[in-house]
Chains A and B, each alone.
Chain A
Amino acid sequence: MNFANLSLPWLLAGAAALAGLLYVLQQLRIRYTEVAVPTAMFWREAARDAPVRVFRRRFRHWLAYLLSLLICWLLWLGLAEPRVEDPEGGQYHVLFLDGSAHMSAPGDLDQAIRRLRDDLRNLPQDRREVIWGGAWNLKLLNAGEESLLFDRRVVGLAPEGAPSAVEEQIDLLALPGAYPEAVRLVIYGRAPVGGGTLEELREGVQVHRAAGFDEPGANRGIVAMGLGTAASGRWDAVDVLIRMAATGDLSTLPGDVQLSLDGSPVTGIAIEAVPPDGLVLRDVPSAGGLLEARIAAADTLSADDSAQLQLPERRELKVAVSSLLGAVLMEAVEADPGLVLAADEPELVFRRAGESFGGDLPALEFAPMNEQVNAFEIQYAGDLDAELALRDSLRGLGLHLIDGAGLAVEAGRPVGVQASAGENRNVSVWLELLDERYNFTASRAFPLFISRASRWLAEENPVYAYLAAGRLAAEESPDFALAGPGISATRLLGADLAPARAGFLESPNAELAYPVSLLSTAVTTGQVGVELPAFAPTAAGLAGPSLLALLLILAALALLAFEWYAYQRGMMP
């Protein structure tokens, strides 16, 4: 037997509470009926040895109490709506309410909620749960929780600007031990499911889709927007790729896209069409700013009508080089168009270790081998784990390109890299590596190291090629990976950065906010994936309050009538 409206623990807890409540009420009940008698003198004497019942005195009316308790229990049981047979054969149901951008059309989510609510009423309470499939998959109703809570928790929910994560939920079902053997996922919405996902399902797991969701209407939107190194080779510019998608008879012409930078229309930038549905913006200046692409579309889905991108800010860095260092460093700075030699007001300095040149400015220092254990010692600010910092430094500073083995042979000692936390950023390198015999300054890694070390020391912000909802972020600034404000938090957790939904992604200190766009081909084109079997609870489950519940309530009413009769006849107090 199971209960439609209450779980067994709640039923038992309620029954115990009723018993306790009635007992207390019986104890407290001192409602005197006033009766006039001529024989009060006898009553006074008769009651002298048996005082009236008062609070917490002897409990007297056991039969009356038991009758009242029986009536209350029957009503409580009727309310719980017991069901002898399980119409779904003991299967566990995961009801997935799609709250992704697939449900953005007006009325879609309301329809899904109505369907789910109807089905919820007909499923065993202890063998079903509801998941909200928005930007994250959240448990909306646990197994055993009252169905009434669903109505309360669903208030205020709206489709989120994110692709569906239903496949993650399906993957979770497949995990051994995560769910009962026989489990059925029912999707209330258009969240697409790939065929590959279904092929990996374990035995006993079924995926259904609630019927009644028609094909979405024609739509078009931006499905990709990202930046890359400028094909022209300019260090201070990037190329931006924009791609569109459309369904029905809607077009994806490059001219449909409106571009703006920090709110102003973009001008003076070469735009190339990339057939069949893309365009490239050439040499967009890396001067920072928010680049927005918007496509006018008279469709029901607005989340994909625009996309935004934070452009990198690449500026010339003023570098001062100590006279105690060799000319090779001067040459490296002069060769890098992003670096400018400036004796006055430099932003960072190259100097020998222990030299006072540049004061407290960020510095690339060179120390004699006999004074420094490791060839490269990096001091970073912040609370990043040292191991992570070291790992990032290899790529971030281009150290992975160095011929470490050759340097070690030449130096006659191991070439190591050490990262440690400190108040300011600092990079310290063996001074001897500047010597020609080490072949470091002549290697292709040297200018890269000088360039990246300079920009890291100048604390430039990280650059992301794109930030799309539900997709891993692609970072285009490995040289700043050691302290990127957007990644430090996620890397501390050992996770990759994947913004959940469209909007803005703030850095932990809230100083930076990167735009996140929907950029989902599946959402824009209304992909439904593999066709799933429709879900329909059995007819037995659709039959409102059960007959058994009705009988219980009738029995309670009959007992109530009997109690009244007994009271009137003086058979009970």
Chain B
Amino acid sequence: MPSAAPTVEEIFDTEFLTALQGFSLWARRIISGGRHAEQLSRDKGAGLEFADYKAYVPGDDTRTIDWNIYRRLGRVVVKVFEERQELPVYLLVDRSGSMYFEAAPKIGVALKVALALTSISLSQHDSVGLFSFSNDLEMKLRAASGHGRLMRVAERLAELDEQGSTELVQAIQGVERLRLRRGLLVVISDFYDPAGLEEVLGSLRQTRHRLLLVQLIGNHDLDPSGRRDLRGDVRLRDCESGEAVDVSLTPAILENYRAIVNDFNDSLTRFATERGAAFLRLNTDEEVLPQLAAAFEAGSIEI
């Protein structure tokens, strides 16, 4: 049963956003080329935090020569500082039919998470870009920073509506073709791509960006035995493609189903671990904030 998307007011929950102030997203090293910000860059240069010494070569800023060393050792060395730059964060939000399904649709959680990550990123002076996908990839906002950006992102998120099926593989490939500056690609989806999880993971392996995978999953997805309408002989119709599969529901089949879902989740988790990607699995039937708080256990997620 498809549900309506939340409004801007519903998304832009100040209380919720205030609670996120202690959270941060830290990239281990980002590729240089961006403007100065708070993310640790691979470049060494004009930052504030001391990083190392190196021998002076002509062209180095003479202000960084450590004269104390020169006086004691007679060698001219310069101090090298950590250079902090902005991290481009690309939000890729799933707007397919499955995200709008059921009374408490996943899209509500997806939008909240997207706005939360936007808020966290913008607070770190990172730039945030917004993409949505279903059958097609659609750029909603170019990556940019600034606190005024948060409202624009919220407005764009509220404009999202149900559209087509989950074509995540194509969406990731589409993002890759845009040759965006390397940054953090946040995929917010249930990952129910009809092409299969392996295809999705294959395309994710190809991306140049760092990854933050946010998997949205409901209780009924995990264990359908709680659904009253799933009894006896049922014709299960896919809410996106409309394809049907006839099933005689028995405890054995339910057990089989749970095992398949667990495999699916395990594969996603394993991929994230192997790829060094951050991974969030959020239950859409539970409150978002506590789950985010648990994910940002130490106040930050390192990616």
Measured CB to CB, the residues of A under 8 A from B are 29-47, 49-50, 52-53, 60-61, 567-568, 570, 572-573
Give the contacts of B74-89 with A (CB-CB under 8 A). none
Interface centre among B1, B192, B248 (most CB of A within 10 A): B248
Query: Can you report 8 residue pairs joining A to B where beta carbons are below 8 Å apart?
Result: A32-B234, A38-B101, A38-B102, A38-B192, A39-B261, A41-B192, A50-B250, A570-B225
Instruction: Report A-chain residues with C-beta under 8 Å of the C-beta of B249.
Output: 573
- Cβ-closest chain A residue relative to B230: A35
Q: Which residues does chain A contribute within 8 Å of B246, judged by CB atoms?
A: 32, 47, 52
- Asked if A50 meets B256 with Cβ closer than 8 Å, knowing A36-B101, A38-B190, the reply is yes
Contact A42 B229 (CB under 8 A): no
Are A46 and B233 interface neighbours, CB within 8 A? no
**CB of B252 within 8 A of chain A?**
yes
Contact indicator B234/A33 (Cβ below 8 Å): yes
The reply to whether B256 and A35 contact each other, CB–CB distance below 8 Å, is no
B244 / chain A contacts, CB cutoff of 8 Å: 34, 40
A463 CA to B190 CA in the complex, in Å? 110
Closest A residue to B102 by CB, please name it: A38
Q: Give A573's nearest chain B residue, CB to CB.
A: B232
Q: How far is the CA of A567 from the CA of B228 in the complex (A)?
A: 9
In the complex, the answer to whether B98 meets A38 with C-beta atoms within 8 Å is: yes
Distance to closest chain B CB from A483 (angstroms) = 80
Additional A-B contact list (8), CB under 8 Å, known A38-B98, A40-B245, A50-B252: A33-B232, A33-B233, A33-B234, A37-B239, A38-B190, A45-B260, A50-B250, A567-B231
Contact call A39/B248, Cβ cutoff below 8 A: no
Once the chains bind, are A37 and B238 in contact (CB under 8 Å)?
Answer: yes
Chain B interface (Cβ within 8 Å of chain A)? 1, 97-98, 101-102, 190, 192, 194, 196, 221, 224-225, 227-241, 243-250, 252-253, 256-257, 260-261, 264
Q: Which residue of B lies closest to A53 (CB)?
A: B248
* The 10 residue pairs across chains A and B that have the minimum distance between CB atoms: A573-B232, A40-B238, A38-B98, A32-B235, A46-B257, A46-B256, A52-B246, A53-B248, A34-B235, A47-B247
Indicate if the CB atoms of A33 and B235 lie closer than 8 Å: yes
Whether the Cβ atoms of A36 and B234 lie closer than 8 Å is no
Instruction: Kindly identify which residue among B190, B231, B241, B247 contacts A43, using a CB–CB cutoff of 8 Å.
Output: B247
A29 → B minimal CB distance (Å): 7
A40 contacts across to B, CB distance below 8 A = 236-239, 241, 243-245
On chain A, the residues within 8 Å of B102 by CB distance are 38
Residues of A within 8 A of B190 (CB): 38
Bound Cα distance A45, B253 (Å): 10
- Return the contact of A38 from the options B240, B248, B250 (Cβ within 8 A): B240
Residue of A nearest to B190 (CB): A38
Q: A34-B237, A36-B239, A41-B192 are in contact. Are A52 and B228 (CB under 8 A)?
A: no
User: Quick one: given A45-B260, A47-B247, are A30 and B233 in contact (CB under 8 Å)?
Assistant: yes
The answer, among B233, B240, B256, for a CB contact under 8 Å with A52, is: B233
| B249, closest chain A residue (CB) | A573
Q: Which listed residue (B101, B194, B232, B260) contacts A46, Cβ 8 A?
A: B260
Determine the distance from Cα of A186 to Cα of B62 in the docked complex, in whole angstroms: 137
A32, B233: Cβ atoms under 8 Å? yes
Closest Cβ of chain B to A82, distance in Å, is 34
Q: CA–CA, A37 to B232, complex, Å? A: 15
Q: Which of A31, A46, A567, A570 contacts B253 (CB 8 A)?
A: A46
Give which listed residue, A37, A42, A52, A53, contacts B261 with CB less than 8 A: A42
| Distance of A547 Cα from B239 Cα, bound (Å) | 54
Whether the Cβ atoms of A33 and B231 lie closer than 8 Å is: yes
Q: In the complex, A13 Cα to B257 Cα: how many Å?
A: 43
- CB neighbours (8 Å) of A31 from chain B are 233
* Contacting residues, chain B, for A60 (C-beta < 8 A): 248, 250
What A residues does B264 contact at CB under 8 A? 42
Cross-chain contact A35 with B235 (CB below 8 angstroms): yes
- Chain A contacts of B230 at CB under 8 A? 35
Q: Is the CB of A39 within 8 A of B221?
A: yes
User: Hey, which chain A residues are within 8 Å of B237, CB to CB?
Assistant: 34-37, 40
Which of A33, A47, A567 touches B245 (beta carbons < 8 Å)?
A47
